[in-house]
Amino acid sequence: MQSLVGIATILLCVFGGFMLHGGDMGVIWQPVELIIIIGAGCGTIILGNPRHVLSEMWLQVKEVLGRKKNGEEFQRQLLLLMYELLQTAAGGLKALDAHVEAPHESELFKRYPMILHEPKLLHFIVDNFRLMAMGKISAHELEGVLDQEIGAIHEEMMQPAKSLSKVGDAMPGFGILAAVLGIVMAMNSVAEGADTGEVAMAVAAAMVGTFIGIFMCYGVLDPIANRMRQLVDDERQALDSVKVVLVTHVAGKPPLLAIDAGRRLVQLNTKPSFARLESWIDKLRNPDSEDEPATPRRRKGDLRAQQA
């Protein structure tokens, strides 16, 4: 919704201001200029990127225009899923096989649909629980492996935003290209005996190409690419949160402390308090209980119990 409001604001201010200044929208509407500029931009994207980057770019653009998903409910599902997995692993990592081998069929994972709909995050979780089940690994070794994996995932996910940003930077050049072609046609009309008014209209139509190129750069592609980078950073935050939970667990800490370590990496605007986290866990243990924040005294007692 916010993205649509931003787009509407840009269009209203730019074109509304043009009309208030006495401009005629019919002059702006130049389909040939649009075909040249947008077609060149699309062709550049297709030529300069492999198919998997194009697919990821399409998904990220849809996310930009859709609803924000990494809110409090997403964080709740992620933290509680990790808590349940750690609790299951307490009985032996082999107990996780039924869940991590087929997460889409697992009743545990089905309780957290927002995580199931995030394939990169889901694969990261199940792959690293498999890694932990394969043999003993120290917390330091696990942290190094996860840092490298997260870095590789982040770099790959940033490629669509980088490519779109480069195409946005090239849009003014494509606009000049369309304008030059328009000027060529205007000069050709002079040779054919066009009058001054017809030449002026042809030159004005050509200059629209420059406007379209600049508008596409700064009013469309650059803000979309910036939002895509922010979405990728949000997804990396989720991966980092999972990494810290796993490393803390391998270091020998109890599940509650491991989950709290992951909570601390959540962005401030969606980070739950420790009391809120504990109320979620209490609700998980006792589904019929009230979903109320735990008192400070009870939190302290529960924390000592987890540490014991």
Q: What is the pLDDT of residues 205-255, one digit of tens each?
A: 889 999 999 999 999 999 999 999 999 999 999 999 999 999 999 898 999
pTM over 0.75, yes/no: yes
User: Can you give the pLDDT at residue 81?
Assistant: 93
% of the chain surpassing 90 pLDDT: 49
Q: Quick one: DSSP state of residue 117?
A: T
Pick the closest to residue 2 from 212, 231, 213, 171 (CA basis).
231
Average pLDDT for 279-295: 69
User: Can you give the pLDDT at residue 296?
Assistant: 42
User: Can you give the pLDDT at residue 90?
Assistant: 75
User: Can you give the pLDDT at residue 96?
Assistant: 77
Cβ neighbour number for residue 45 with a 10 Å cutoff: 17
Q: What is the mean pLDDT of the chain?
A: 86
Average pLDDT for 23-46: 90
User: Can you give the pLDDT at residue 92?
Assistant: 66
User: Can you give the pLDDT at residue 93?
Assistant: 63
Write down the H helix ranges in 135-221.
139-191, 196-215
Whole-angstrom distance, CA of residue 26 vs CA of residue 210: 16
Tokens coding 11:
């269009």
Average pLDDT for 24-46: 90
123 contact partners, CB below 8 Å, separation of at least 6: none
Residue 306: pLDDT band (50, 70, 90) is very low
